[in-house]
Amino acid sequence: MNEQPVSEKPKAQQKLRLQASFLRMLLLWLILGILFLWSLFAMALVAARWINPPTTAVHMERRLQAWIRGKPYRDRYTFLPLSQISPNLQHAVIAAEDANFYHHHGFDWQQIQIAAKEDLEGERTRGASTLTQQLVKNLFFGTNRSFLRKGIETTLVPVAEFALGKKRILELYLNVVEWGPGVYGAQSACHYYDNTTARNISREQAARLAAILPAPLKRRPERMNSYSAIILRRMNQMGW
């Protein structure tokens, strides 16, 4: 039976201690890095109460993707005050994406329960993200999916609700959300698809635009007859 020499045992133990110390230091720096990023994002959300974001993570992600693929890229992004965006479009987007927008505090627990049940049954047909969650994701995380991203996003949602309020959240969302290839915000979407302004878009046009939000790079408003009709019915039910 071979035994490890006594002189080698302290060296092995010292090596293990060094490895454990390195892992602890690495974990500490990782936690500090996450906290630092979280603090930056939280401060950016507070600043967004008064400052319109010049760009978002989604904008930068699409630009990078175009550069990597060697494709031309044109960014259409015009920020408008909420007062210059038609109530038709405001209501259509809320009806389509977050019907309980004015009644929750960042998370729609009813929709989360429905989505979880559909996941268990293998019949997931809807998302459960609120406009606030989508805004945080668009601003800071782009389209990537990970548990870490979701965790940080979840902790930032209450900050957004508290610092911004519903009106500003809706204004920011309508202005930064992706509506097509290089098309960001209500004004750009209305001009790109309907050759009109966000102030003058009709009820039916608004419903069609809202219908493409779940997959703006794949859907076209003119093909959204069925879903836009559902959105219009929801608007009627909500008194809009």
Averaged pLDDT in 10-residue chunks for the chain of 240 residues: 57 75 84 89 96 95 93 91 97 95 89 66 60 96 85 93 97 97 96 96 97 94 95 95
**Closest residue by Cα to residue 220 from 197, 192, 195:** 192
How far, in whole angstroms, is CA 59 from its chain's centroid?
12
CB burial of residue 8 (10 Å; 0-12, 13-18, 19+): exposed
Contacts of 235 (CB under 8 A, 6+ apart): 91, 92, 95, 203, 207
CB distance 79 to 52 below 8 Å: yes
Task: Give me the pLDDT at residue 3, please.
Answer: 53
| pLDDT value of position 21 | 78
- Decide: 172 and 51 in contact? Cβ < 8 Å: no
Predicted local distance difference test score (pLDDT) of residue 109: 82
Calculate the CA 10 to chain-centre distance. 52
